[in-house]
Structure formats: structure tokens, C-alpha cells
Structure 1
């Protein structure tokens, strides 16, 4: 069976794309390999275009098969189920760089499916899948204006590495996944440990230079086996379009002077409805007219900014909307903040938890893993005034949450410094642009309010772009309409010292170094302004945790005492937890952490642990519980598992014929240890004990 193969070298390893002998009923199908990692990517295009839409109906599904990693799925059902968060995030990364590279007027369904067939311990399949999507489209009938290359860039010991191994990623201070054409960058997604903007830019340009190799081999593959592209038939009703423009243009210019989002959008809708009536546009052409109208609205907004340098809410291009901050919103929450920027508002809450409350995730690379810090983002419909019920988290919500989590994570203290599980939840109460960056700001404020010992605040801002031929305008703190009608959504988060998270999506065919440099510069200026306001609101983490948060008490025991604390089949540790309501974490080195909302419960747990770990000493006084009585004496339990014999002659100064005459099972007797023989047997006496002698144990029940 005939096949075609092209290859290059990336990070000293062969990088191969092949096609021709598998999945041949798809319009395009490739396998991309690096090392022993291999991903199958297919592209299927519908024969007919979807009528009356003005967007590309593109769907991307990336799935990781357990067999690729030599694993059987966990859980009761031994097969893969719904996509994991990782699979959703990778699907988004595949979608974002290819979507802007389809021509206007192409509205056929495009389905991209990517399956990890094999995976080694070196190379992540995610960037291979991104290249695979481009390659499958490039050799298919789809009028894709690529190809693109996609790589991961890390920096280890000051050196940039393209498509690093997992080990190199773990050692890096910067990790960026990016895609681009030969001439420009089309997508960036990544994080860093407070890396300056100029170094982020150098990493992006390094990656852009390297990914050109992947474009070259795709073009080579296309020359070998590429199919003829679909011709696009664009139906333009120029008469309606021109009439609609004349009827609405001046009114739209006035509408864009309305500062309130809802009022402005209401007026824009009214202008269209009025024009439909005046122009007597027939019902069957209303849908097409609405698509023309969207284009007119976009052009009016763009012209206003380009010519007047005034945005639709009255701001200058680099001006940030008014910011309002409130922390400690509700006393029962461990930490909370409201961050409002214009008509965008995030309510963010922090919950502190004990070990055992970590997020458990099934990683087919590592097996079962846990997350100590997690951020969840929710976007309820009421935030945009939509009359819709709330639904489970969408792909967009998962992506925004991941972006905000990545921004805050480098500043989260280690478990040794702050032994809590940390959950941040952002509920968007109002939305008019950049809710993910509002989540970053609100998350940092709420973490400070919760007393999490973060060393610095983290803020985020979204940048926009309006580009016309060789001129461009960078917009700071974009509105929802500026995101929708503009050319770029460039989100940058970080501290005063550097970037921690970055994400860029564009709607044009790529960005130059000049635009990226200007956007990063303006983003830093905006971020520093917001950080100043955040430090004014709450300059440092609170010194004390909320009284409703679990407190943690630490104590250390000898490692050999751990089995005693746990007890047979966990009997002792279960008893402590049941009687005190605390949560206990025991480290192999003997460090014990006790989590409890109530201090008294923690103290009781400590006493019970001390009871279990205490050593018996000759000459010391103890309380003993009678467990058995014989004529010759009584057996007492001084500590769990520590029995002693109280001889009948040592019970009292009076002469007793039998110990049964003086004591019974269950009695508590204060005794002094008189001897521990070579075999560890403990002998005690009650005769020399005074009323004032303080026992070393308390026999907690």
C-alpha cells in the first residue's frame, strides 16, 4: 500500500509526518511522530456549506487512548469516557490557530479528530496533534490557508529548547505552546515564573523560527499528495448590502457614543430593525442582511477607533476602565473578593482544606495524580443578561479557568510553608470583556484575604488590536465588542517582576514582532496600574486565617511510633478522628499535621496521640485502667498496648487475701512504675502514690 513520508529534526529527534495507508475515507489523514510518540489526525469536510451563517463550523476533538501509555483506564468502567480537562484544553489549542486561516465565505462543516496512538516518556503529543491538524487540512480539499507549524518552547538554564522532553519541561522557568505561519505568529499559550516581557518575546521569536521547519515538510507533503482545493462560491447581494450601509452608517456612529453595553447593543439592534422596514427587505433575505449588518457594525467601530482614537465606551486606546475592589465580602468564606473593571465583575472565593481534599485526576502518563491548588471558573448566563439556565462547565469555562490558574500558581506557597489544599472559585457576575483576567485579579485579592502567604499580587489584562493594512492600534483592557469585532485577544498576567501566564488568539492571518512587542509593552503598563490599586486594597496577606478555616497543628514523633498511632487495621487513628472530628496527615518522617476548625478538638487529638506514643519510665506516676483481675493481682493498661501487673501486695497497705477484694475490671488506679525487667514487663505499686502526684497520662476515652 502506497504511503508518503516527510521528516525533519526537532530537538535532536526525528520528526515525521506520514500519510496514505490509513483512514483513507477522511479528506485528510496523517500520523505525526516524534520519538515513540505518535498521533493520528484526520480532517473531514462536509460536501455542502451550511446556509445563512457567517462563521466557520469547525469542531476539534483530541483524545488520548490509554493503550498509548500502556495503561488500562481506572474506575469501574474500563474504557475511556468523556474528555478530560487536558483533552479539552488541547482541543482548544488545536482549534485556535487553524480557525483564522480559512477564507471568508467557507462555511462547510470541518471536523478535526486527533487520537494519541503511542506515547513515550519524552515528548508530549499535544503539539504533534496541532501540526497534524494543519497537515491533514493542507493535503485535503479544504481551502486552508496554511500550513502552520506548532511547537513548545521552554527555557532551561537560560537556553531555549524547542519541543522539550518532560524532564526538560520540569526544569524550565518558561513554557509556551505556540503556532505560526512562515510570516507571522497566530497563537500563543503558556506560563512562566515571573519572566520579563522582553524574554517572553525572545522565546516566541525563537519558537517561530523553529516551527518553520514543520511548515517546510508539510509543503513537501502537499506537493507529493495534496488534493485539489474546494472552490468557494460567495453569494453577495451587493444591492442590499449597499442600501443597508447607507441606511444605518450614520446612526451606528451615533450608537457607538452610548457608553453602556446593554443600551448600545439595544440601539444597534433597533437600527437594523428600522432599516429592514424602511428598505422593505423580504423575509427570505433577512438572514443574509443580518450578516451584512454585522460587517457594517464592525467597520463603524473600527473606523471610530482608527480615525478618532476614541473607543466605543469613550476611552483612549491605552486607558483602563474604572476599577472597584472589595475584599472580605462574606465572613463565613475563608477568603473572598469582588473585582470590578467597568462592566466586568468577578466574585472570587477561596476555600482552605486539609489533606485528602486534593483534586484527584487520572493521568494516562502518570496514573493517578493529585492537585493541591485548583481554580474553577464559572460563567453563568445572567452575567450577560441572557435568560438561560445554568449548564455544566463549557470548554470555554475550562479554558479560562486553566489560564487563571496558571497565572496564580507560581505564587502559591509550597505545602511545607502552607500545609493546606487551596481551591479558588470565580463566579462571573457581569461580563463585558476579559473575565479571565478579572478572575486572576480577584483570585489574588481573595488569596491575600484568606491569609495564604503569597509573596506578591498577580494581575491580568487583555489587549486588543485593530489592524488595517500596515497600520495598527493596540487597545488596552478590551471590551467584549472589541474582542468580537477586533483582530486580537492577547491576555497577559503577572506580577510587578514578570509574566506568569500568557494567551493570544487572533482573527487575522498572523502578527509581526513589532505588534507583539508593542502589545507586551502596553500590557505591562496596564498590569502595573492595576497592581497598584490591588496593593492599596490589601497590601499583604492577612496575618490570621478565618476563624471558620481549618487550623493546622504540627507535631513530630519518632517514625517507629507511626504504626502505634495507626494501630491494627487503622483502629487507633480511626478512633482519634471519630472522637475529635479532626483530619490527620502523617508523613513517613514522623511529621503529623492535625486539621481542625475547633482548637479544643485539635488539642484533644494531640493528647490522644501523645498517649499512644508515650514511653513508660521507672519512677513516674501513671493512671492505669484495670483490664483483668486475679487473686494474685490486677492487670492495668497504662498506655495503649502497655500492660502492667499490680501485685496484690502493692494495692494497699492493708493485707489482702485476693486482689478481687479491692479492685474490679474498669477501675482507674493511680500507680507508680517500680520496675521494668529485661523482658519489658512493667511492675507498678499503688502504695507509695500521693494524692498530689500528677500522672503523666490522661487515659482519654
Structure 2
């Protein structure tokens, strides 16, 4: 384990790229750290001896995202550690694999593992292109044979300019985001997403990326001179020359005839028959009896050689097509009932069934990882069952190939999707590959477009995809043939699979997977033009099936309404712990999502329910205006008046004096719970409490408001003195909550029972005469019965004189006072000199306050604690916390 540290720094895209080795992971064959900005990745490469029975190169590439790199805690609160790699990490690992795999010796069987670990994450630079640089540098430093080094560059097209290694924000705003890996003028890998980018801009971006990456290759070469290891020879399993010659003698004359067949099944059957006869004939020879693997390998190489020769020399493809010809196309939409959108797309023997599903934005996928993007609303999932190739295999969870193909189709469609504001839906498309004979990912693009249009998604333009292959001459590197719409055997025998998706205006997605030591940019430019012509042919067929998106959604798709509410009303809509929004969803049968900016989305299969929920939310979040009239519903009767719900979640008090122009003795004489009455807002006080009037919505009687004593001179609760103290006479409920019973949308908080209701239901003078602090441990008295009715009955009883209580001594002053009262005299007694201490300011404030009409919601200082302190026994009620989340 070397302790010497070597470091190389270069300017790359306007920032410093630092490569350092010798400090970490000294037991790996090759290891170094790559730093760009504040992003630091550790790249390691390790080789092991070949495993028995393998006949392929077992290269494994992993990208490990460590959440500490961004200062985050991973996983759930039950498992605080990283688990399965995020989807983006899997896609980045595939990206690195595509770039480095062609540079290992052909036929190598040694186990090779490349691990990229993110140690520090700068939100401006995700470690995709840095992972490629790190993998190349680690392999180049190591003793593994690797035909490197290579560079990797990210290029964006923003406001007409090409930018090298853009920040995350620049990439999000740009029209093009392209990652290109290569060396010199040869491209090893391309991954691209664009907003209908012209082909010439793509070519310029490739050239710029390769040019900018030259300094990266130079830095790796410099680092290898300082700390590189001598290369060793990998184990390469080759087919013996005598077996190759024997297979050629036995099959050459019949191979061409077996390969030329328009139907895949017919061609496969002919090849299998020929392979069987060759194996049977060679089994009789002593030298080839135990070399079944070598015979199969030699046969496959012979079929590939013959296929390539036919294409290069005669321009003849296995199915008889021209090199620019697309296989027969067919498509249809609406193939499945009940689903929101469906389409079946077929190209030759490749068939894709695509199904679109719409949901609320609350169903968007939450992304966990180091990438700044937190969620995405468009999902494309790709399934490749074994029956699509006529094979039997265990059904597993999606592998890297399925994830990669789904992501490519997702990239292709994402640029043409409507914005969230115009189409507030989460969208999922599933591509089921029914039959496979090459280019299934591009068939998924075409089928997905039709499925979205069938679902009524207003995409900007239809997207089609095509794959272009390449066959090059081993003798003349300049000689090559590009193949439009490659099938399975051409993918196996060819040198490149160049997937291009886009609209009539430009390209939306690209993926390059090739087997050479790079493809010249000029060849890729030819391929882009050839793909453009084929893309137009496919779009013609798709537009014949469905020219534009349907004008309305499927009847089975959710209807989504939206409304904007003030941000400070979000908490009231959600309620404590989500209580209000859950109740609203339950009562209306809808699903409601609230965004941080106050946008509310309501999803429902029934338009009528959606309108109901929409109106409720609008009313819950707007303030009543003084002077407006409402059709309200009586929700509660008190002695002082009636509570009336004027809009859902908003109620006000109609004081008994505001019920009618004439005198009202009992509230129940005019209104009852459940009655609908017309009321007018006459006041909204500083605490947001609403005073209503019924009589001001009625015709005013001639001659004024009535005679004396009709209550017309008594104001509502906010009034001070004047007239009888009606609140005192009906004091049984004057301190109770103003909130009606039952569910209440939009209430700020649940008040619970009034704190003073067990004291103030009795006449005030009686309550005051009992003064003194009776403590908290006195036994509770049974005060059953309806307290409102009790208060009303008490207010109607005739006043009677109170005699001296037998259990208390009578003071002389009390006797004199009663005597004076019984004689009717007006003699006033001299003021009593109290022996008690002078009242404090707080006590004075309490006494003065209680002389006024007590309004629901007022905070009173009471001698008797309203809430008893917790004594340590029993369970404590947990505090509910209201969280502003999308799902309430």
C-alpha cells in the first residue's frame, strides 16, 4: 500500500478538475479521487480471477450514492442507512458501463468491478460525467489492460450558446443536455435529452465536448506517468483455429441461405437446424468431440461474418430490406377498455402495448438521492417478459436494462409534455413488450406517444423513435454502412446501436451504444440525418392513426380542478394534523393536493363532487365582507342568540336583538337548529368573529322598531352598557364556544368545552357571593341537563328576595339594608370600610372585564384553574402538529 500521494489539476470547462491518487483505497488495483467544484468521487477498479463456466466478460459497474455527501440522513427513521440504489444511480452506472466496456480486450473473462462512490456532492454537478472520468483514470492507473484513457463532458445549449459542464440550474433551463464520452474525434458513448434540437446543433455539441475533454485525457496520462502500474494479461478464451476451420467447412455453403429470410422465426429455425447438423458432424471427429462451447462460438462468429459481408459488399440485409428501409409499420389506439389511454405499436416483429394512466400531482414520484430534483410527475416503465422472445425465464423485478430502456423513452417524451399549470396531472406510461426483434425501446417511444394522445394529454407534438446500426470493414476503417431500423440479428452482428427519438422539429433523446474503440463524429452526423428521414415516415403512420390528442379525457380518468388560495390559509385548509383536509376529502369523495405556493388541486371522477369541494375551499379561504348578505344555516342555539353558518367553515352570531324588528323573548320562537335564514354581516371584529343580523334582511316595519322594551335598543354582543344586561339574564351560555357542533372545515383550532361553563351558568350575584378560593380538589357536582335550556328557564323565573342563609351569620349591615329596601326608602348607607387589602391592577381588570358582556373566545382570568395540572397518572394527550404537506 503506497503512501505517496500524487495530484494533477487542470482547467476543465472554466473550473478546476483535480485527480489525486495514493491517499485512499490502497488495496484496489487502481484508485483515485476526482474533484470538480465541491463534488468529490472515489473511483476504484479491481480485477479477480475468472469464474468457471463463464463465456462472457463479467464487467460490473456500480455508482454508490452516500447521503452524507449532501449532509442528509438516509432511509426511513427505522432504517437509517442507504439501501437499494436510486434509479438515477443505476442509470449513471449504465452510462459509465457503455463508455468503458468497448476498451477491454475482446474475449476477456476476468471479473472486473468498477465502483464510483460519491464522497461529497455539489448540487451544481451531479457525478455522471465525473464518474466516467474517474472510472477511466482508475483503470488507466491500474494494472488492468484498458485501451484508455477517455474523457467525458457535459454540454448544454442555452440561449443559442453551447456551454461546457453547465450547473444544474443552467442544464434545467437549457434546450439541450448532452453527455459525450470519447477520445480524439471518436465517440464512445452519448446520452442526450433535448427540446426538439436540430441535428446540426447536436453535431456541434459532440465536437465541442470532445475538444474540451482533451485536457482530461492529458491529465490522466500525466498521472499514470507518476503512479501507474504495469499491465497484466487478462484471461482470454479463444476458439481454437481448427474448430473454426471445421465449422467453416461444414456450414459456409449453407449459411447464406439460412440467413436470408424475411421472417425471424423462419430464419431462427434454419440457423438452428444448420447448427445442429454442424455439431452432429463435428462430434464424430475426435478433436472436436468435447468442444461444444467452441463449436457454438465458431458458428456464431461465422454467421456474423457472413451477415456483415452481405451488408458491406452487396448492401443485402438478412430480411431483404434496403439499408435505409423501415420495417412494415402498424398502430392502433383505444385497444383496452377502462384504462385512461392505450395504444399498440408494431414495427416488423417488434410489438409494444403501451398504457397511460393519469393521477393527481400528489402521486408524483418522490426522488431520494443526491440529485437536486425532488420529484417527477412523468413516469415511463418498460417491461420485457420472457415470452416476448419465446423463452422461459423466472419473472424478476426490473433489471438495469429495463430501467434504462424505460428512462430513455421517458426522456424522449418529457420535452413535449404540457406544463403542470396547463395539465395538473401525474402521468405514468407502461410499455409491455409483446414481441421483440430489435429496437423495442424506440417502439416504446412511438406507442407511448399514441397512448398519451389517446388519454387526452395535450402533448406539443408526437414523438417517434428509430435505431440506426453500423457495420464497418475490418480491412478499411473508412468503409462503413449505416442501417436504418436494425433488427435483432443486425444488432448482434453490427458495431453500433444509435437510438434517436424526436419530432418533426428536432431531436428529443439520443443514446449511443457501440462496440468499437469509438465512432467518428462525421459517421454519427450521417446517422442523425438517416434517422431523421425514417422518423418522418413513422410519424406519417402514427398521425394516420391519431392526428392529435383527444379533446377530452377518458370518463374513467380523474377530473382535476384547481384553485389558488392565500399562502397564509394553507394551514387552515389542512388543519391540525391534516384533520380538516382529510374530513373534506372524505365528505366530498375527492383527493386534494396543496402546493407550497397555495395552488390546490382537487381530483375526482365526478365533476359535481369536484365543484362542491372547489366551492367549499373557496369559501373556507375567503373572508366575509361587512354588508354582504348570505343564505346561512342555523347550527346552534344559545341564550344570547343563534350561531349561523354562512359559508362552510365560517359561522357568525345572530344576537337575539338582531333576529327580528320586534321583541324576541326566546331564540327558539324565531329560529331553530337546521333552519336556513338570510343574514347580513354587520361586523367582523379584530379577532375575526362575525356578527350577523337577520332583521336587517327583513322589511322594516312601519312606525319604527316597536315599543319600549322590545329589545331594539339592545345592541349585539359588542355593545357596552345601556338597557338591561341581557347577557346576565341568559348567562348560562354566554361563555361557551361560538363554534357549532359537528365537523368544522377551516377552523383555526378546536376550542373544546368552555372553561367557565360549569361556573357561570348560575346567576352571577350568587356566584360572586360564594367567593373565595375553594381549591382544585373539591368534589365535582353533577350539573346534568341541557345548560342552554337551564339558563333560559332561569332567566324567565320571577325575581324573589333572598333571605339570610341559615348556615351563615347575618351581618348587621345586611339587616339594615333589607329593612331599608322593604320600607322603600332611599336612604343610602355610608360606605363600608373594608378591612381587606386594596385590589391589585389585575384584580381590578378582571372585575371590570366581567361587568361587560362576555363574548365567546374571550380569555378570562379565573380563580379556579380551567385545566387541572397533570398529576402523573394516566396518559397525556400528545400535541398535534399541523404539517403543510402535499397530501395533507
TM-score, normalised via structure 2 length: 0.74
Q: Kindly state the Cα deviation for residue 362 of structure 1 after the two structures are TM-superposed.
A: 1.0
1:429 aligns with 2:438: no
Residues 30-69 of structure 1 aligned to structure 2 (within 5 Å):
30-46=32-48, 48-50=49-51, 53-69=54-70
> Given the superposition, is the C-alpha separation of residues 661 and 540 from structure 1 closer, same or farther in structure 2, using an over 3 Å criterion?
closer
The reply on whether 1:647 has 2:648 as its aligned counterpart is no
2:210 to 208, 221, 229: 208
Gaps of 5+ in 1: 691-698
**Structure 2: 5+ residue runs without aligned partners?**
700-741, 745-888
Residue 551 in structure 1 maps to residue 526 in structure 2: no
Q: Secondary structure at the match of 2:374?
A: strand
Task: Please say if residues 152 and 207 of structure 1, whose CA atoms lie closer than 8 Å, have aligned partners that are also in contact.
Answer: yes
Q: Which residue of 2 aligns with 1:673?
A: 680
Q: Is 1:527 aligned to 2:530, yes or no? A: no
Q: Would the alpha carbon gap of residues 238 and 603 (structure 1) be closer, same or farther in structure 2, given more than 3 Å must change? A: same
CA distance in 1, matches of 2:681, 2:31: 85
Secondary structure in structure 2 of the residue aligned to 1:310: coil
Q: CA–CA distance in 2 between the matches of 1:525 and 1:272?
A: 38
Q: 1:269 aligns with which of 249, 267, 272?
A: 272
- Whether contact under 8 Å (2:261, 2:319) holds in the other structure is yes
The superposition leaves residues 100-126 of structure 1 with CA deviations (integer Å, 9 ceiling, x where unpaired) of 111223221111111111222333322
CA distance in 2: counterparts of 1:21 and 1:567, whole angstroms: 54
Please say if residues 567 and 596 of structure 2, whose CA atoms lie closer than 8 Å, have aligned partners that are also in contact: yes
Match for residue 101 of structure 1 among 94, 100, 103: 103
CA deviation vs aligned residue, 1:339-383 (integer Å, no higher than 9, x gap): 1000111111111111211111113243x8111112111111111
User: Counterpart of 1:278?
Assistant: 281
- For 1:528 and 1:638, the matched residues in 2 are separated by 60
Partner of 2:411: 406
CA distance in 2, matches of 1:569, 1:79: 28
Q: 1:566 to 1:615 in 2, by over 3 A?
A: farther
Q: Identify the residue that residue 223 of structure 1 maps to in structure 2.
A: 225
Aligned ranges 1:108-119 → 2 under 5 Å: 108-119=110-121
1:117 and 1:249 map into 2 onto residues whose CA distance is: 55
User: After alignment, is 283-292 or 559-568 more displaced?
Assistant: 559-568
Could you tell me how far apart the structure 1 residues matched to 2:581 and 2:452 are? Answer: 32
1:195-248 CA distance string (max 9 Å, x none):
111110111111112222222222222223322222356654211210111111
| TM-fit CA distance, 1:562 | 4.9
| Structure 2 residue 497 is matched with structure 1 residue 496 | no
Kindly state the Cα deviation for residue 271 of structure 1 after the two structures are TM-superposed: 1.2
**How far off is 1:557 after superposition?**
5.1
Structure richer in strand, relative to its length: 1
Deviation at 1:660, TM superposition (A): 4.6
* Residues 52/79 of structure 1: CA separation in 2 closer, same or farther (3 Å cut): closer
| 2:519 match: secondary structure | coil
Shift of the alpha carbon at 1:643?
A: 2.2
Over the residues paired in the alignment, what is the CA RMSD in angstroms? 2.6
Asked if the contact 1:634–1:648 (Cα under 8 Å) also holds between the matched residues in 2, the reply is no
- Tell me whether 467-476 or 612-621 shows the greater mean CA deviation: 612-621
Moved more, 165-174 or 200-209: 165-174
**1:538-617 alignment runs, 5 A limit:** 538-556=546-564, 562=570, 564-567=572-575, 569-587=577-595, 591-612=599-620, 613=622, 615=624
Which of 288, 296, 307 is the aligned partner of 2:294?
288
Contact 2:656 2:664 (8 Å CA) reproduced:
no
Greater RCO (CA < 8 Å, at least 6 residues apart): 1
2:254 corresponds to 1:256:
no
Name the SS for the 1:325 alignment partner.
strand
Q: How does 1:162-201 map to 2 (within 5 A)?
A: 162-201=164-203
Distance in structure 2 (CA, Å) of the matches to 1:247 and 1:38: 57
Rounded Cα–Cα distance in structure 1 between residues aligned with 2:33 and 2:656: 83
SS at match of 1:363: coil
**Which range is displaced more, 457-466 or 61-70?**
61-70
Supply the distance in 2 between the matched residues of 1:377 and 1:674 (Cα, whole angstroms): 59
Contact 1:53 1:291 in 2 (8 A): no
* Aligned-partner Cα distance in 2 for 1:290–1:148: 34
Pairwise mapping of residues 508-519 of structure 1 onto structure 2 (< 5 A)? 508-519=516-527
1:306 matched to 2:312? The reply is yes
The yes-or-no answer on 1:242 pairing with 2:251 is no
Change (3 A) 1:656 1:526: closer
Task: Please give the per-residue CA displacement for 1:655-674, whole angstroms capped at 9, x wherever unaligned.
Answer: 7653356655x332424438
The 8 Å contact of residues 136 and 148 in structure 2, kept in 1 or not, is answered as yes
Q: Structure 2 residue aligned with 1:387, among 387, 392, 416?
A: 392
* Distance in 2 (alpha carbons) for counterparts of 1:567 and 1:140: 60
Q: Is 1:75–2:84 an aligned residue pair?
A: no
Question: Aligned partners of 1:615, 1:534: CA distance in 2, in Å?
Answer: 54
- The alpha carbon displacement at 1:604 in A equals 2.3
8 Å Cα contact 1:625/1:667 also seen in 2: yes
Aligned CA distance change for structure 1 residues 684 and 177 (closer, same or farther; 3 Å): same
What residue number does 1:297 align with? 303
Aligned residue pair count: 688
- 2:361 corresponds to which of 355, 366, 369: 355
Correspondent of 1:629 among 638, 661, 676: 638
Aligned to 1:477: 485
CA contact (8 A) 1:52 1:287 kept: no
Q: Report the secondary structure of 2:557's partner residue.
A: coil
Deviation at 1:292, TM superposition (A): 1.4
* 8 Å CA contact retained: 1:61, 1:91: yes
Q: Tell me the SS of whatever aligns to 2:24.
A: coil
Residue 278 of structure 2 aligns to a residue whose secondary structure is: helix
- The alignment partner of 2:290 has SS state of helix
**SS of the residue 1:270 aligns to:** helix
Among 317, 322, 327, the residue aligned to 1:321: 327
**SS of 2:486's equivalent?**
coil
Question: Deviation at 1:180?
Answer: 1.0
Bigger shift: 451-460 or 3-12?
Answer: 3-12
* Greater Cα shift, 149-158 or 554-563: 554-563
Deviates more, 1:277-286 or 1:135-144: 277-286
TM-score for the superposition, normalised by structure 1: 0.92
Say whether the 8 Å CA contact 1:54–1:291 is kept in structure 2. no
Structure 2 counterpart of 1:332: 338
Distance of 1:106 and 1:556 partners within structure 2: 62
Q: 2:626–2:681: 8 Å Cα contact kept in structure 1?
A: no
In structure 2, do the counterparts of structure 1 residues 466 and 118 end up closer, same or farther at CA, with 3 Å as the change threshold?
same
Aligned: 1:344 with 2:346: no
Q: Deviations over 1:43-92 (max 9, x none)?
A: 1111x344565432111111111122222214131111111111111111
Task: Specify the structure having the higher radius of gyration (Cα).
Answer: 2
1:636 touches 1:646 (CA, 8 Å); kept in 2?
Answer: no
Cα gap change, 1:151/1:684 in structure 2, threshold over 3 Å: closer, same or farther? same
2:776 matched residue in structure 1: none
The residue matched to 1:636 in structure 2 has which SS? strand
Question: Is the CA contact 1:648–1:658 (under 8 Å) kept in the aligned structure 2?
Answer: no
Report the Cα offset of residue 171 of structure 1. Answer: 3.1
CA gap of 1:365–1:256, structure 2 versus 1, over 3 A, is closer
**Counterparts of 1:298 and 1:43 in 2: how far apart (Å)?**
32
**Worse-matched range after superposition: 555-564 or 322-331:** 555-564
CA contact (8 A) 1:440 1:493 kept: yes
Q: Deviations over 1:489-515 (max 9, x none)?
A: 000111111111111111111111331
Residues 592 and 202 from structure 1, CA distance in 2 versus in 1: closer, same or farther, beyond 3 angstroms?
Answer: same
After superposition, give the CA deviation of every residue in 1:314-337 in whole Å (9 maximum; x if it has no partner). Answer: 111110000000011123111111
Whether the 8 Å contact between 1:135 and 1:218 is mirrored in structure 2 is yes
Give distance in 1, aligned partners of 2:557 and 2:460. 21
Deviations 1:540-587 (A, max 9, x none): 111111111111223455666555544555444332211111122345
How many angstroms apart in 1 are the aligned matches of 2:220 and 2:155? 20
Report the CA distance shift for 1:236/1:396 in structure 2 as closer, same or farther (over 3 A): closer
Which residue is equivalent to 1:694? Answer: none
* 371-380 vs 67-76, greater mean Cα deviation: 67-76
Distance 1:544 1:24, change over 3 A: same
